Amino acid sequence: MNPITLEWLQKAEGDFITAGRELRARKFPNYDAVCFHSQQSVEKFLKAFLQENKQTIPRTHILADLLTLCAKIDPTFYTIQQDVNVIEGYATQFRYPGNFAERIDARQAYKIVRALRGFILSRFSEPTDLIL
C-alpha cells in the first residue's frame, strides 16, 4: 500500500475513533465534535481511496467533489451519494454559535461514518484491517 494512503487511513481512523469515543462519553459529551469528526473521517477515507488509485488529492473539503472523483474510478461510489450529502453538512452546521448538535444528530453522523467507512475500506485491493 502506498505510504501516503496509509497516512490518510490512519488520520481517517483517528477521526472515526474520536467521534465514537465522544459519542460514548458519559460526562459532558460534545455532540458537535462527534458530527465534525464524523465528517472529517469520511473526507479522509475518500482521499485515501483517491491516493491509493494514484489520483491527485484536491485541496477541498467538499465531499461531493471527492465522491465524484472516486466514482470515476469505481462507479459504485454513486450508491453512497445520499449519505455523503447528509454528512457533508456536519462539517460546519454546528461549528458556530447559535446551533448545537443534539444526541440524535451525533448518532446519525456516527451511523453514517461507520457505514461509509466500511464501504470505502472494502474498495481497497489490500486488506485494511491490519494497518489501522
Give this prediction's pTM: 0.94
| Predicted pLDDT at 132 | 58
Q: Do 17 and 38 contact (CB within 8 A), yes or no?
A: no
Distance CA 106, CA 43 (A): 17
Report yes or no on 131 lying in a domain: no
Q: Does 132 reside within a domain? A: no
pLDDT 10s digits, 78-105? 999 999 999 998 878 888 888 999 999 9
Number of domains in the chain: 1
30: domain CATH number is 1.20.120.330
DSSP 71-83: HHH-GGGGGGHHH
**Which residues of the chain are under the pLDDT cut of 50?**
none
| 130 assigned to some structural domain | no
- Within a domain: residue 18? yes
Question: In terms of residue numbers, what domain contains 48?
Answer: 3-121
